[in-house]
Amino acid sequence: MTWIFSLLLAASLSFAGETQEVKVKGMVCSFCAQGIEKKLKSRAEVQGVDVDLKGKTVKITYKDGQKISNDEIATLLKDAGYEASF
């Protein structure tokens, strides 16, 4: 049974694409972070979002072979009320 889980885990990791770290201006509270996380996760290209509130950064993990342009990220963050800094 264990080897099945290991295989599934390895498979899921192998499909993870590249990551991108974005500095966010104005992200000072959990509500800010939640809005940013929700906006980015709404995109099909995004596999995961990791918010670092203390570091004022968001780490985006893309699905294999997919990515969002910096302009689109800036627009998503603007819709959430914040500014991207690349």
Partner 1 sequence: MRFLFLILTFLSSAKAYSHAVAYQGAWSLMSTNRDDMSDLYLGYSVTSRYSVGVHHMEMNMQGQKESYSVLGANFLLKRWNEISSQGNVYIGAGGGVHRDAREQNGATYASLEADWESQKIYTSAQAMYFHENSEENFKYFKVRGGFAPYVGDYKEINTWIIWQAEQLQDRPWELTQLVRLYYRNALIEVGYRFGGGYQFNYMVHF
Residues near partner 1 (CB under 8 A) are: 23, 25-36, 38-39, 51-54, 56, 78-83, 85
In whole angstroms, how close is the CB of 40 to partner 1 at the nearest point? 11
Decide whether 2 or 49 has the Cβ nearer to partner 1. Answer: 49
In whole angstroms, how close is the CB of 41 to partner 1 at the nearest point? 12
> SS3 of 50, please?
strand
Crossing angle between the packed helical segments 30-41 and 70-80, to the nearest 10 degrees: 130
User: Tokens 């991108």 label which residue?
Assistant: 20
Decide whether 64 or 78 has the Cβ nearer to partner 1. Answer: 78
At residue 35, what is the residue type? G
CA–CA dist 29, 47 (Å, integer): 23
In whole angstroms, how close is the CB of 36 to partner 1 at the nearest point? 8
Decide whether 23 or 67 has the Cβ nearer to partner 1. Answer: 23
